Structure 1
Amino acid sequence: MQDWLTVHESSAPLVIGLPHTGTDIPAAIETRMTSPWLGRKDADWWVDRLYDFAIDMGATLVRTGVSRSVIDVNRDPSGASLYPGMTTTGLCPTETFDGEPLYHPGQTPDADEIDERRTAWFAPYHAALQEQIERLRARGPVVLYDAHSIRSVVPRLFDGALPQFNIGDNDGTTCAPRLTRAVEAACAVSGDSLIVNGRFKGGWTTRHYGRPETGVHAIQMELADRGYILDPAGPVTPDNWPSPYDPDRAAPMRDHLRRVLTACIAFAESQR
């Protein structure tokens, strides 16, 4: 197992993907970047800590430690956009969510380098994810839950403030409707805002693995990070981002997410 790839195996019918919590950038790539901070700015900050309770629930976790600015393992490996006509970042991003350039002029990765990165990091991450899905599916249906977060306000990507819970099943294609309804109901208990298939309908992971007819039910959760850390009130700078992880502030969100994951496990077990 590569030191950048973490797999925690367990027995519940639930696999949690953590594709964007990594902050590792190889030195040879970081020196070509405009700023180490920009290279890590768009991480799903602290999501691995937010969900660490899932281990005690028997969930299997697959996490890459590599920054999404090096390669985004939740994008189509062909480079095709997941949201045609909308602003988004690519397989090997060249700019941040806010449109800031990640690389010095002439230093962006070319096609050969992108292919090398795909082989080095994208392929092993998905091989591990596939292995865990197949291991658990041998016993019956399984839920793949792709865990994400993003700043509540990113004007270049969406208007206004994002709902707290953003559930994606790619318009009802990646999991049984009953699972989506169960996750939605678990979120609704919080009293916070939620939406299904809004701005975020599920990334490549959810769309690629979600095959409910074969017993693999994939769903994405994109959290507005104000639910567990302090969102910057004004411009995002190295002085205010990322906000530190505060266990007390995160505790209510962890309770909500525990309810969500309980619903995922209960759904899978009901299918067996």
Structure 2
Amino acid sequence: MTASNTLPVFSLHEGSLPLLISIPHLGTRIPDDIAATMTPVAQRTDDCDWHLDRLYACARRLGAAMLTPSYARYVIDLNRPPDGANLYPGQDTTGLLPVDTFDKEPLYRDGQLPDEAEMARRRDIYWKPYHQALSEHLAALKAKHGKVLLWEAHSIRSHVPRFFEGRLPDFNFGTANGASAVAGLAEALAAVVERHGAYTTIANGRFKGGYITRQYGQPAEGVHAVQLELTQITYMEEQMPYAYDETRAAQVEPLLDELVKTALERVRAA
């Protein structure tokens, strides 16, 4: 599926395992027509989940499928419900069509905020194709293997006062309080991190899993979903130009490999 400027909306790398890694906030592109309504700060795409396709290359080599978008979450947030409902009632969050950055800098020029018609247009062009691909590939993997693990890969700056106080734990596992995956999966993954000893971790804390985890995780039907919100300081520089840190990443990659394998084992045994 392509957008109006012919760039593919998403890329799908197919694998051999019952594992799909979705990275819905990896994209950095903003179409020219949308960019024309936005402030210069939008072009920095500060709130991108930088470099996660590179960090998860180990899982892809193991045989994981990987689904990634081309366009930035500033165009539309693929991990939000199509109606834009707040997944964390009572807490501050950004919406389906974000209007400001995590630091509350405005993304749109005065008088240029997208209206309902524009929201519907972007849903059709960007949101629906990604979710159709996600749904269809999960179904194909389930038909082939009987069970499937959806790993929602996310990252965020270690300090974002808008959303949480102080420094966020490094590895934040979410399974919608246990509803989206086999019982105890988030806790088992957190235990792996704790044994490693180099990073902090929590299960179903501030980040319990976004729309994709909650929508597609149906363990009774053989589809298990877990979200990992990883602090960016563990593998990259958190300030512009948001450079990948080879030394830090080399410490994280083997742990990610162990975590993915642990999750797959628990799903297969469920």
Give the structure-2-normalised TM-score: 0.94
- 1:3-152 equivalent positions in 2, closer than 5 A: 3-37=8-42, 40-138=45-143, 139-152=145-158
Which residue matches 1:201?
208
Look up the match of 1:247: 246
Moved more, 161-170 or 188-197: 188-197
Q: Distance in 2 between matches of 1:225 and 1:12?
A: 27
- 2:5 — aligned with what? none
1:189 aligned onto 2:188: no
**Is residue 186–residue 204 contact of structure 2 (8 Å, CA) maintained in 1?**
no
1:197-256 deviations in Å (ceiling 9; x for gaps): 11111000000001111011111000011111133xxxxxxxx42421122221111111
User: Shift in Å at residue 39 of structure 1?
Assistant: 5.2
Deviations 1:144-165 (A, max 9, x none): 1100000000111110000000
**Shift of residue 177, structure 1, vs aligned partner:** 1.6
Structure 2 gaps, min length 5: 3-7
**Alignment RMSD:** 1.3
The 10-residue stretch of structure 1 (154-163 or 47-56) with the greater mean CA deviation from structure 2: 47-56
Instruction: Report if the CA contact (8 A) 2:47-2:102 is conserved.
Output: yes
For the residue of structure 2 that corresponds to 1:101, the secondary structure is: coil
Is the 8 Å Cα contact of residues 153 and 227 (structure 2) preserved in structure 1?
Answer: yes
1:218 is matched with 225
Residues 39 and 204 from structure 1, CA distance in 2 versus in 1: closer, same or farther, beyond 3 angstroms? farther
Task: Provide the aligned length of Structure 1 versus Structure 2.
Answer: 263
Report deviation, 1:106.
0.7
Residues in 1 aligned to 2:15 and 2:43: alpha-carbon distance in whole angstroms: 35
Percent sequence identity over aligned pairs: 45
Moved more, 204-213 or 43-52: 43-52
- CA distance in structure 1 between the partners assigned to 2:13 and 2:207 by the alignment: 27
Is 2:258 aligned against 1:259? Answer: yes
- Does the aligned pair in 1 maintain the 2:9–2:70 contact within 8 Å? yes
Instruction: Summarize the Cα distance change of 1:37–1:94 in structure 2 as closer, same or farther, 3 Å threshold.
Output: closer
Give the Å deviation of 1:72: 0.2
Aligned equivalents of 1:179, 1:128: Cα separation in 2: 25
Quick check: 2:182–2:267 contact (8 Å CA) kept in 1? no
CA distance in 2 between counterparts of 1:83 and 1:159 reads 16
C-alpha separation between the residues in 1 aligned to 2:196 and 2:82? 36
* Deviation per residue, 1:75-105 (Å, 9 max, x gap): 0111110111111000000001111100001
Q: Distance in 1 between matches of 2:41 and 2:105?
A: 13
Q: Say whether the 8 Å CA contact 1:12–1:58 is kept in structure 2.
A: yes
Q: Distance in 2 between matches of 1:270 and 1:177?
A: 11
Does the 8 Å contact 1:30/1:36 carry over to 2? no
In 2, the alpha carbon distance for the partners of 1:246 and 1:225 equals 10
Once residues 67 and 15 of structure 1 are traced to their aligned partners in structure 2, the CA distance between those partners, rounded to angstroms, is 20
The Cα shift of 1:270 comes to 2.6
CA distance in 2, matches of 1:188, 1:242: 31
State the 1:179 CA deviation: 2.5
Q: Is the 8 A contact 1:95 1:101 kept in 2?
A: yes
CA distance in 1, matches of 2:130, 2:44: 20
List structure 1 segments (4+ residues) > 4 angstroms apart after TM superposition: 36-39
Q: Distance in 2 between matches of 1:37 and 1:14?
A: 33
Q: TM-score, normalised by structure 1?
A: 0.93
Distance 1:103 1:134 in 2: 38
Aligned equivalents of 1:173 and 1:268: distance in 2? Answer: 14
